[in-house]
Protein backbone atom coordinates (compact mmCIF):
# COMPACT_ATOMS: atom_id res chain seq x y z
CA UNK A 1 0.00 0.00 0.00
CA UNK A 2 1.34 3.43 -0.92
CA UNK A 3 1.95 6.22 1.62
CA UNK A 4 -0.89 8.20 0.03
CA UNK A 5 -3.38 5.33 0.32
CA UNK A 6 -2.25 4.48 3.84
CA UNK A 7 -2.35 8.00 5.19
CA UNK A 8 -5.27 9.77 3.56
CA UNK A 9 -7.85 7.66 1.65
CA UNK A 10 -10.67 9.16 -0.34
CA UNK A 11 -14.11 7.67 -0.74
CA UNK A 12 -15.75 9.47 -3.63
CA UNK A 13 -19.48 9.29 -3.09
CA UNK A 14 -21.75 7.99 -5.79
CA UNK A 15 -24.16 10.75 -4.89
CA UNK A 16 -21.66 13.39 -5.96
CA UNK A 17 -21.31 11.81 -9.38
CA UNK A 18 -25.10 11.64 -9.79
CA UNK A 19 -25.56 15.27 -8.75
CA UNK A 20 -22.76 16.46 -10.99
CA UNK A 21 -24.29 14.68 -13.97
CA UNK A 22 -27.68 16.10 -13.18
CA UNK A 23 -26.71 19.72 -12.48
CA UNK A 24 -24.23 19.85 -14.23
CA UNK A 25 2.54 31.34 -3.50
CA UNK A 26 3.58 28.24 -5.50
CA UNK A 27 6.67 26.10 -4.73
CA UNK A 28 10.07 27.49 -5.61
CA UNK A 29 10.33 25.14 -8.59
CA UNK A 30 7.44 26.90 -10.38
CA UNK A 31 8.50 28.30 -13.73
CA UNK A 32 5.56 27.92 -16.10
CA UNK A 33 1.99 29.17 -16.23
CA UNK A 34 -1.33 27.40 -16.66
CA UNK A 35 -3.23 28.94 -19.56
CA UNK A 36 -7.01 28.85 -19.79
CA UNK A 37 -9.39 30.08 -22.45
CA UNK A 38 -11.63 31.65 -19.84
CA UNK A 39 -9.56 32.08 -16.64
CA UNK A 40 -6.36 34.05 -16.01
CA UNK A 41 -2.96 32.41 -16.22
CA UNK A 42 -1.44 31.17 -12.95
CA UNK A 43 1.99 30.06 -11.94
CA UNK A 44 2.18 26.29 -11.61
CA UNK A 45 4.55 23.77 -10.08
CA UNK A 46 4.74 20.06 -9.29
CA UNK A 47 4.33 19.91 -5.49
CA UNK A 48 3.39 16.23 -5.46
CA UNK A 49 6.28 14.97 -7.57
CA UNK A 50 7.94 13.27 -4.56
CA UNK A 51 4.85 11.04 -4.38
CA UNK A 52 4.93 10.10 -8.06
CA UNK A 53 2.50 12.78 -9.29
CA UNK A 54 4.22 14.95 -11.91
CA UNK A 55 1.12 16.97 -12.78
CA UNK A 56 1.19 20.77 -12.73
CA UNK A 57 -0.81 22.49 -9.97
CA UNK A 58 -1.51 26.05 -8.90
CA UNK A 59 -2.10 27.10 -5.31
CA UNK A 60 -5.65 28.07 -4.34
CA UNK A 61 -6.00 31.65 -2.99
CA UNK A 62 -3.92 31.63 0.21
CA UNK A 63 -4.02 27.85 -0.03
CA UNK A 64 -0.94 27.68 2.20
CA UNK A 65 -2.49 29.96 4.87
CA UNK A 66 0.63 32.10 5.11
CA UNK A 67 -1.57 35.22 4.90
CA UNK A 68 -3.76 34.04 7.76
CA UNK A 69 -6.48 32.55 5.57
CA UNK A 70 -7.02 35.71 3.52
CA UNK A 71 -10.19 35.37 1.46
CA UNK A 72 -11.30 32.21 3.25
CA UNK A 73 -14.60 32.03 5.16
CA UNK A 74 -14.07 30.28 8.49
CA UNK A 75 -17.07 29.11 10.51
CA UNK A 76 -17.22 27.61 13.98
CA UNK A 77 -13.95 26.49 15.60
CA UNK A 78 -11.84 26.83 12.43
CA UNK A 79 -8.54 28.68 12.89
CA UNK A 80 -5.25 29.32 11.12
CA UNK A 81 -2.57 27.88 13.36
CA UNK A 82 1.18 27.59 13.65
CA UNK A 83 2.66 24.43 12.17
CA UNK A 84 3.14 23.86 8.46
CA UNK A 85 2.85 20.51 6.72
CA UNK A 86 6.30 18.91 7.20
CA UNK A 87 7.19 18.56 3.52
CA UNK A 88 7.53 22.34 2.90
CA UNK A 89 6.30 22.11 -0.69
CA UNK A 90 5.72 25.86 -0.77
CA UNK A 91 8.78 27.28 0.97
CA UNK A 92 11.00 26.31 3.87
CA UNK A 93 9.83 29.43 5.70
CA UNK A 94 6.14 28.46 5.59
CA UNK A 95 4.74 28.13 9.10
CA UNK A 96 0.94 28.01 8.97
CA UNK A 97 -1.89 25.57 8.41
CA UNK A 98 -5.65 25.43 8.94
CA UNK A 99 -7.11 23.67 11.97
CA UNK A 100 -10.67 22.34 11.61
CA UNK A 101 -12.31 21.10 14.80
CA UNK A 102 -15.61 19.23 14.85
CA UNK A 103 -18.49 21.49 13.86
CA UNK A 104 -16.35 23.88 11.81
CA UNK A 105 -15.97 24.60 8.12
CA UNK A 106 -13.61 26.56 5.89
CA UNK A 107 -14.36 27.81 2.40
CA UNK A 108 -11.91 29.25 -0.10
CA UNK A 109 -12.30 32.51 -1.93
CA UNK A 110 -13.81 32.08 -5.41
CA UNK A 111 -11.50 30.29 -7.85
CA UNK A 112 -11.97 30.73 -11.60
CA UNK A 113 -12.42 27.24 -13.02
CA UNK A 114 -12.54 26.06 -16.62
CA UNK A 115 -13.22 22.63 -18.05
CA UNK A 116 -9.47 21.92 -17.86
CA UNK A 117 -9.40 22.33 -14.06
CA UNK A 118 -10.26 18.71 -13.36
CA UNK A 119 -9.03 18.00 -9.85
CA UNK A 120 -7.70 19.25 -6.52
CA UNK A 121 -5.20 17.93 -4.01
CA UNK A 122 -3.96 19.03 -0.59
CA UNK A 123 -2.12 17.89 2.54
CA UNK A 124 -3.91 16.73 5.67
CA UNK A 125 -3.30 15.47 9.19
CA UNK A 126 -6.25 13.96 11.02
CA UNK A 127 -7.30 11.75 13.88
CA UNK A 128 -7.64 8.07 12.93
CA UNK A 129 -10.91 7.20 11.24
CA UNK A 130 -12.23 10.78 11.33
CA UNK A 131 -13.73 12.09 8.10
CA UNK A 132 -13.65 15.36 6.20
CA UNK A 133 -16.23 16.39 3.62
CA UNK A 134 -15.03 18.33 0.58
CA UNK A 135 -17.64 20.28 -1.39
CA UNK A 136 -17.47 22.38 -4.53
CA UNK A 137 -19.73 25.41 -4.22
CA UNK A 138 -20.63 26.98 -7.56
CA UNK A 139 -21.58 30.65 -7.70
CA UNK A 140 -24.65 31.28 -9.84
CA UNK A 141 -26.68 34.27 -11.01
CA UNK A 142 -28.11 36.67 -8.46
CA UNK A 143 -25.86 35.44 -5.68
CA UNK A 144 -27.24 31.91 -5.81
CA UNK A 145 -25.03 28.93 -4.99
CA UNK A 146 -25.19 25.18 -5.38
CA UNK A 147 -23.02 22.69 -3.57
CA UNK A 148 -21.73 19.32 -4.78
CA UNK A 149 -20.00 16.82 -2.48
CA UNK A 150 -16.85 15.82 -4.38
CA UNK A 151 -15.10 13.69 -1.75
CA UNK A 152 -15.14 12.31 1.76
CA UNK A 153 -11.65 11.96 3.23
CA UNK A 154 -10.61 9.51 5.97
CA UNK A 155 -7.66 10.39 8.18
CA UNK A 156 -4.90 8.21 9.63
CA UNK A 157 -3.26 10.49 12.19
CA UNK A 158 -0.26 11.61 10.11
CA UNK A 159 0.54 14.31 7.56
CA UNK A 160 0.23 13.04 3.99
CA UNK A 161 -0.87 14.26 0.55
CA UNK A 162 -4.45 13.52 -0.30
CA UNK A 163 -5.45 11.39 -3.23
CA UNK A 164 -6.40 13.23 -6.41
CA UNK A 165 -9.95 14.55 -6.00
CA UNK A 166 -12.00 15.13 -9.18
CA UNK A 167 -13.38 18.67 -9.36
CA UNK A 168 -16.63 17.27 -10.84
CA UNK A 169 -18.30 20.66 -11.43
CA UNK A 170 -15.66 21.86 -13.91
CA UNK A 171 -17.75 20.56 -16.82
CA UNK A 172 -20.32 23.27 -16.06
CA UNK A 173 -17.78 25.83 -17.31
CA UNK A 174 -18.41 24.72 -20.90
CA UNK A 175 -21.78 26.47 -20.71
CA UNK A 176 -20.28 29.75 -19.41
CA UNK A 177 -17.41 30.72 -21.73
CA UNK A 178 -15.17 28.23 -19.90
CA UNK A 179 -15.09 30.26 -16.68
CA UNK A 180 -17.12 29.74 -13.51
CA UNK A 181 -16.42 30.73 -9.91
CA UNK A 182 -16.03 27.77 -7.55
CA UNK A 183 -15.36 27.78 -3.81
CA UNK A 184 -13.96 24.71 -2.08
CA UNK A 185 -15.45 23.95 1.32
CA UNK A 186 -13.83 21.65 3.89
CA UNK A 187 -15.82 20.46 6.91
CA UNK A 188 -15.15 17.65 9.42
CA UNK A 189 -17.95 15.15 9.77
CA UNK A 190 -18.64 13.87 13.26
CA UNK A 191 -15.94 13.75 15.92
CA UNK A 192 -12.28 14.37 15.26
CA UNK A 193 -10.18 17.36 14.19
CA UNK A 194 -8.35 18.00 10.95
CA UNK A 195 -5.39 20.13 9.94
CA UNK A 196 -5.04 20.90 6.24
CA UNK A 197 -2.46 22.83 4.25
CA UNK A 198 -1.37 23.70 0.71
CA UNK A 199 -4.61 23.33 -1.23
CA UNK A 200 -3.81 22.98 -4.94
CA UNK A 201 -5.82 22.86 -8.19
CA UNK A 202 -4.66 20.84 -11.21
CA UNK A 203 -5.27 22.64 -14.53
CA UNK A 204 -4.30 19.57 -16.59
CA UNK A 205 -1.77 21.60 -18.54
CA UNK A 206 0.84 18.85 -18.40
CATH number of the domain enclosing 96: 2.60.120.260
What does each C-alpha distance from 108 to 32, 77, 167, 185 come to in angstroms?
24, 16, 14, 7
Average pLDDT over residues 124-133: 91
Instruction: Identify the weakest region by mean pLDDT among 2-16, 22-36, 123-137, 190-204.
Output: 2-16
Q: If you average pLDDT over every residue of the chain, what do you get?
A: 85
Write the secondary structure of 181-204 as one string of H (helix), E (strand) and C (coil).
EEEEEEEEECCCCEEEEEEEEECC
Summarised one tens digit per residue, pLDDT across range 109-118 is 999 999 999 9
Number of separate domains in the chain: 1
Q: Contact, 62 vs 74, CB < 8 A?
A: no
Q: pLDDT per residue over 50-87, tens digit each?
A: 999 999 999 999 999 999 999 999 999 999 999 999 99
Range of the domain at 191: 3-202
pLDDT of 108 above 80: yes
164 compared with 139, residue with greater pLDDT: 164
Q: What angle do CA 47, 91, 66 make, to 5 degrees?
A: 105
Mean pLDDT of 34-46: 81
Say which residues have a Cβ less than 8 Å from residue 92's Cβ, sequence separation at least 6: none
pLDDT in the model for residue 2: 39
Closest CA relative to residue 200, chosen from 45, 12, 69: 45
- The helix/strand/coil state of 4 is helix
Amino acid sequence: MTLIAARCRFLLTGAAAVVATAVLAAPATASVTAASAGCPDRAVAQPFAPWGDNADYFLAPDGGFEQGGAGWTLRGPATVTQGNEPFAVGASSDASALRLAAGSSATTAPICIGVEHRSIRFFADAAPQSTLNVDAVVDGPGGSQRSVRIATVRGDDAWAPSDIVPMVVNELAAEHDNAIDVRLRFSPHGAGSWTIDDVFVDPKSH
